[in-house]
Chains A and B, each alone.
Chain A
Amino acid sequence: MSHAIAVAAGSASATTEVVTFWVLAIIAVAAAIGMIVTRRAVHCAVLLAVVMLVLAAMYAMQGAPFLAFVQVIVYTGAVLMLFLFVMMIVGVSAADSLIETIRGQRLWASLAGIGLLVLLVLIVGHAAIGPAAPSGPRNGALNVNSLAALIFTTYVFPFEVTSALLITAALGAMVLAHRERTSPKPTQRALSRRRLADGHPTPLPGPGSFALNNAVDTPALLPDGTQSRLSVSGVLANRALAAGDRPGERYPGGLKLERGADEEAGQEPRQEPGQELSPGEER
């Protein structure tokens, strides 16, 4: 009786694993394909996070609970956040252009991918991959202990080399990300002089506050009815252009974000502090 219950429980868990595997596999493949198809880098990062979380679930299903947690913490938590931080530096509008620089590159790359897929699937299909070995305590409660025992006995030398690798990587990242200041830091006096020389010593105009629209991306209206471009951050205008929607369509009365009278006075749109040119570069 107890044996029958155990067999039934085993088949039930096997069915659960089958269903979970197929659902997760479809999600992972769909997210991976979407990752290489979508244009914007942020969407790629989010879809990659989906793939990594699915893989973490699969690690847990296969008796690797420690690696499942490491996958979530290191990959989804640290690596992808690093990607998003670099995306903030590089600019959210860094979308891929759809123009091919090498003719037929996508076609040939896809054909090569399909060829590689067929080859690898044939190899895996011909290999004699038997059923899984029964999972023991090393795949469950004692997983962390067994991994630690292996790392600090059999694999202790690769483990020590790993520490050297990590230190080298941290040093390399610091060296590569370091920037020497090639010009002296502008003092407050120099900044105020530049502000007066630019011809706009007062603060820039604020965004428009209207009855229907009151947001930072709404340009203010000048006395002659034109829109003040200075009142909208240049980052927002760039982002709206990158997103593909035309600024002005969202504004009441069919207003278009066009050159205002204040811009023709030779002034540049407002720049955010993060968008300022580095001190080594000339304007």
Chain B
Amino acid sequence: MISPADYVLLATILFVIGGVGVLIRRNALVVFMCIELMLNAVNLAFIAFARLHGGIDGQVIAFFVMVVAAAEVVVGLAILTAIFRTRRSASVDDVNLLKY
């Protein structure tokens, strides 16, 4: 029998991999994908906890997380195309006009 703790551990590992990806990748698209990976990992933890408690409130929360993630992706990718149109680059290093 797989305990919910195992699912939570898997979610932890996926979350950390996504976080490392956000730190080391410089293509903005890939950074977005790593953020999606982190959100998915948190969803897995929510569902595991819902199963631990025998309720489905955690599933409702995971559903809301999915909705928010979809909205975030839409706006983020629109920003990305807007930046690409002016800077001709998708690298996060090239977007430094607000740096100083």
A interface residues, Cβ below 8 angstroms from B: 14, 17-18, 21, 25, 28-29, 32-33, 35-36, 41, 44-45, 48, 51-52, 55, 58-59, 62-64, 66-67, 70-71, 74-75, 78-79, 82-83, 86-87, 89-91, 94-97, 101, 105-106, 109-110, 112-113, 116-117, 120-121, 124-125, 127, 129-136, 138-139, 143, 146-147, 150-151, 154-155, 158-159, 162, 165-166, 168-170, 172-173, 176-177, 179, 278
Q: A90-B29, A129-B52, A132-B52 are in contact. Are A48 and B37 (CB under 8 A)?
A: yes
**B77 and A35 contacting across the interface, CB-CB below 8 Å:** no
**B63 and A109 contacting across the interface, CB-CB below 8 Å:** no
Total cross-chain contacts (CB, 8 A): 239
Measured in the bound complex, the distance between the Cα atoms of B32 and A113 in whole Å is 18
- Determine if B95 is an interface residue (Cβ-Cβ < 8 Å): no
The DSSP consensus for interface residues of chain B is: helix
Q: Mark B27-68, 1 if CB is under 8 A from A, else 0.
A: 101101110110010011001101111111101101110111
Residues of chain A within 8 A of B74, CB atoms compared = 82, 169-170, 172-173
Measured in the bound complex, the distance between the Cα atoms of B10 and A29 in whole Å is 8
Contact residues of B between 1 and 28, Cβ < 8 Å to A: 1-10, 12-21, 23-27
Nearest CB in chain B: distance from A138 CB, A: 5
Residues of chain A within 8 A of B47, CB atoms compared = 58-59, 62, 64, 67
Q: A55-B43, A131-B3 are in contact. Are A83 and B32 (CB under 8 A)?
A: yes
Nearest CB in chain A: distance from B90 CB, A: 5
Offer 7 A-B interface pairs, CB within 8 angstroms, sorted by A.
Answer: A21-B7, A55-B44, A67-B47, A71-B66, A112-B20, A150-B57, A165-B67
- Determine if B98 is an interface residue (Cβ-Cβ < 8 Å): no
Closest to A123 in B: B12
Q: A90-B29, A113-B23, A139-B51 are in contact. Are A124 and B9 (CB under 8 A)?
A: yes
Residues of chain A within 8 A of B66, CB atoms compared = 67, 70-71, 74-75
Measured in the bound complex, the distance between the Cα atoms of B92 and A204 in whole Å is 37
The one of A36, A155, A172 in contact with B20, judged by C-beta atoms closer than 8 angstroms, is A36
Measured in the bound complex, the distance between the Cα atoms of B30 and A41 in whole Å is 6
Residues of chain B within 8 A of A35, CB atoms compared = 17, 21, 30, 33-34, 37
Residues of chain A within 8 A of B30, CB atoms compared = 35-36, 41, 44, 96
Nearest CB in chain B: distance from A114 CB, A: 8
Closest to A26 in B: B10
Measured in the bound complex, the distance between the Cα atoms of B17 and A51 in whole Å is 12
Residues of chain B within 8 A of A105, CB atoms compared = 23-24
**B20 and A109 contacting across the interface, CB-CB below 8 Å:** yes
Residues of chain B within 8 A of A74, CB atoms compared = 66, 70
Residues of chain A within 8 A of B57, CB atoms compared = 150, 154
**A58 and B36 contacting across the interface, CB-CB below 8 Å:** no
Measured in the bound complex, the distance between the Cα atoms of B45 and A283 in whole Å is 52
**A70 and B20 contacting across the interface, CB-CB below 8 Å:** no
Measured in the bound complex, the distance between the Cα atoms of B30 and A29 in whole Å is 17
**B70 and A78 contacting across the interface, CB-CB below 8 Å:** yes
Residues of chain B within 8 A of A17, CB atoms compared = 1-2
**B26 and A101 contacting across the interface, CB-CB below 8 Å:** yes
Residues of chain B within 8 A of A155, CB atoms compared = 60, 64
Nearest CB in chain B: distance from A25 CB, A: 5
Residues of chain A within 8 A of B84, CB atoms compared = 89-90
